[in-house]
């Protein structure tokens, strides 16, 4: 019995240490995702230029205020999302290097905007 307890104690110690690190935020270098909101009204993005921090995941909330569906799409971001009229869609974007990334409404090609990552 003494041998079994001796082998369990180091495992319990490691678990306690890991729990403390997670609770304190230690051991994790990931930053929280940036959340950005944009609307579509009259087949226009509002605003047409949005900004996000570099090297962080982005949660983009697209609110469709029009009476018709729209499709948020970007070739450079490698994303597309259909958003029904009067609803909101969420687009998850991977961490990006600084630069400008174009996006558009695939159902209304004239509806365009830019994501500026700094």
Query: Is 97 domain-assigned?
Result: yes
Looking up residue 39, the CATH number of its domain turns out to be 2.60.40.420
Query: Is 53 domain-assigned?
Result: yes
Q: Which residue has the higher pLDDT, 3 or 84?
A: 84
Query: Is 6 domain-assigned?
Result: no
Contacts of 44 (CB under 8 A, 6+ apart): 111
Nearest to 69 by CA among 43, 35, 30: 43
Domain span including residue 107 = 34-117
What is the rounded CA–CA span in Å between residue 97 and residue 29?
A: 18
Domains: count for the chain: 1
Buried b (16+ CB within 10 A) or exposed e, 42-81: eebbeeeebebeeebbbebebebebeeebbbbbeebebeb
Predicted pLDDT of residue 7? 59
* pTM of the model as a whole: 0.73
Mean pLDDT confidence for 38-63 = 98
* pLDDT tens digit sequence for 51-93: 999 999 999 999 999 999 999 999 999 999 999 999 999 999 9
Query: Is the pLDDT score of 17 beyond 90?
Result: no
């Amino acid at each position: 019995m003494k041998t079994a307890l001796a082998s369990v104690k180091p495992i319990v110690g490691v678990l306690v240490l890991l729990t403390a690190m997670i609770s304190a935020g230690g051991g994790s270098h990931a930053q929280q995702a940036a959340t950005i909101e944009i609307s579509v009204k009259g087949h226009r993005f509002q605003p047409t230029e949005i900004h996000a921090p570099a090297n962080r995941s982005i949660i983009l909330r697209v609110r469709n205020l029009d009476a018709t569906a729209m499709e948020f799409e970007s070739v450079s971001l490698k994303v597309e999302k259909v958003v029904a009229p009067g609803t909101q869609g969420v687009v998850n974007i991977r961490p990006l290097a600084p630069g400008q990334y174009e996006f558009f409404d695939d159902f209304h090609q004239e509806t365009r905007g830019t994501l500026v990552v700094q």
